[in-house]
């Protein structure tokens, strides 16, 4: 072949490439219009039957030289790129996205709020007895902390481990919350329990293991109560926001996001606190973001620096596990702070961060002055 002929053919190929690019861009623009129509009609972005129909049509018209498999492969990539355009567009349109609501969301309760000045949420991993929860409640009030969390239904890795007190735990939560004027938070693990938990506590927690449980997210959303949604242990930020979207789509915007560490290869902490998720979530969404330092670290000695890092990154609050006698706690005993350690933690974090109404600071509750070792006498053994 003469070199002029080769140059000529190459020029033709370049022209075809440019024409293909024009056609692809035209296709992309049409896809954006299809997306808008689908949004209006509430039709899913990806419809496998439609993709199959398009591929069949192409194969029927294929006259070579490319094999049917190659045509299928090439167009599959084009279809996928089109779905990607629609997905990127959709994530900008999420109801949890800042693009739809620029202001930070503040969730009000009777006389406190989440999402305004940073808050501390604390409590035992599991509710174990009235004495235990009462001691924690009183401790929180002494420090001007207004959010009590404790598990009544515990999602435990081992089916043989303590599963929580169930309904009794919720009843205790309600009573102690009222006694000390605290906003209460407890986890709901199953759609069948949503009503029961919502009747007893102010905020429904959805745990890390259930972040992908879409039925549960929707049921919790329907209650209209604030939902504290923990990040799934293997969830990307995008998946996490999509999970929050399930709650918000029920007409309930009151979602608090909670970064609690993700699974990595690192073994010196229970999970790896993904600090970058904090500014990213705050940037992408108007929802308050809190950081659970206890489940991220799984140990006590680095909670304060993690808390400082979280606040510096823009967190709206911290969650921490505390227990009157962590050594005897029925779950997560290694990561729960006792009251002295908790005080040191608060001091290291220079709490309180906002002016605290001194009326909120109750005098020390009797249970708190009971020495360690007399636990069973005071708390009873359940
Ligand atoms: C909890 O907060 O009690 C808990 C079980 O945490 P996570 O869902 O983050 O593991
Ligand atoms: Mn725990």
Residues 6+ apart with CB under 8 A from 241: 91, 94, 96, 97, 281, 284, 285
Residue 381 above 50 pLDDT?
no
Q: Which atom from ligand 1 is nearest to the alpha carbon of 207?
A: 8
**Mean pLDDT (whole number) for 96-114:** 94
Q: What is the pLDDT of residue 1?
A: 67
- Nearest ligand to the C-alpha of residue 205? 1
* Per-residue pLDDT tens over the stretch 247-302: 999 999 999 999 999 999 999 999 999 999 999 999 999 999 999 999 999 999 99
230 pocket-lining for ligand 1 (C-beta < 6 Å): yes
How many Å apart are CA 315 and CA 312, to the nearest integer? 7
The structure's pTM equals 0.80
Residue 374 above 60 pLDDT?
no
Q: What is the pLDDT of residue 133?
A: 98
* Per-residue pLDDT tens over the stretch 151-162: 999 999 899 999
Mutation to probe ligand 1, out of 165, 262, 292 (largest number of atoms < 8 A from CB): 292
Least trusted range by pLDDT, from 50-54, 238-242, 360-364: 360-364
183 pocket-lining for ligand 1 (C-beta < 6 Å): no
- Nearest ligand to the C-alpha of residue 228? 1
Contact 17, 11 (CB under 8 A): no
- Nearest ligand to the C-alpha of residue 188? 1
* Per-residue pLDDT tens over the stretch 30-49: 999 999 998 888 888 888 89
Contact 145, 350 (CB under 8 A): no
Residue 207 Cα to ligand 1 midpoint, Å, equals: 5
Give 220's pLDDT tier (boundaries 50, 70, 90).
very high
Mutation to probe ligand 1, out of 208, 240, 335 (largest number of atoms < 8 A from CB): 208
Q: Which atom from ligand 1 is nearest to the alpha carbon of 155?
A: 5
124 pocket-lining for ligand 1 (C-beta < 6 Å): no
Look at ligand 1, atom 10, and give the residue with the nearest C-alpha: 208
207 pocket-lining for ligand 1 (C-beta < 6 Å): yes
Task: Say which residue the tokens 């242990």 belong to.
Answer: 233
CA atoms within 13 A on the CB side of 325: 20
């Amino acid at each position: 072949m003469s070199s002029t002929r080769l140059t000529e053919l190459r020029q033709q190929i370049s022209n075809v490439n440019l024409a293909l690019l024009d056609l692809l861009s035209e296709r992309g623009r049409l896809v954006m219009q299809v997306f808008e129509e689908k949004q209006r009609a509430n039709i899913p972005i990806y419809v496998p039957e439609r993709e199959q129909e398009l591929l069949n049509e192409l194969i029927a018209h294929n006259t070579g030289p490319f094999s049917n498999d190659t045509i299928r492969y090439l167009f599959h990539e084009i279809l996928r790129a089109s779905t990607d355009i629609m997905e990127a567009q959709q994530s900008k349109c999420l109801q949890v996205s800042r693009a739809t609501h620029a202001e930070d969301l503040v969730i009000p309760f009777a006389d406190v709020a989440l999402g305004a000045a940073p808050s501390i949420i604390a409590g035992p991993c599991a509710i174990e007895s009235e004495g235990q929860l009462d001691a924690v409640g009183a401790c929180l009030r002494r420090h001007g902390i207004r959010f009590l969390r404790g598990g009544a239904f515990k999602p435990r890795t081992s089916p043989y481990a303590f599963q929580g007190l169930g309904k009794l735990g919720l009843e205790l939560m309600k009573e102690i919350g009222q006694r000390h004027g605290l906003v209460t938070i407890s986890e709901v693990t199953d759609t069948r329990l949503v009503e029961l938990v919502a009747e007893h506590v102010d905020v429904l927690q959805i745990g890390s293991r259930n972040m992908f449980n879409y039925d549960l997210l929707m049921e919790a959303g329907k209650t209209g109560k604030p939902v504290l949604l923990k990040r799934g242990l293997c969830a990307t930020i995008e998946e996490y926001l999509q999970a929050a979207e399930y709650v918000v789509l029920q007409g309930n915007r009151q979602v608090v996001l909670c970064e609690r560490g993700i699974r990595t290869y690192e073994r010196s902490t229970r999970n790896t606190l993904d600090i970058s998720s904090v500014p990213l979530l705050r940037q992408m969404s108007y929802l308050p973001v809190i950081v659970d330092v206890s489940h991220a670290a799984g140990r006590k000695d680095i909670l304060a620096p993690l808390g400082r890092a979280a606040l510096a990154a823009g967190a709206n609050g911290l969650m921490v596990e505390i227990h009157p006698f962590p050594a005897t706690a029925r779950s997560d005993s290694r990561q729960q702070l006792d009251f002295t350690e908790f005080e040191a933690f608060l001091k290291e974090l220079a709490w309180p961060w906002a002016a605290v109404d001194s009326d909120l600071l109750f005098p020390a509750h009797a249970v708190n002055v009971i020495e360690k070792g007399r636990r069973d006498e005071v708390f009873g053994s359940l």
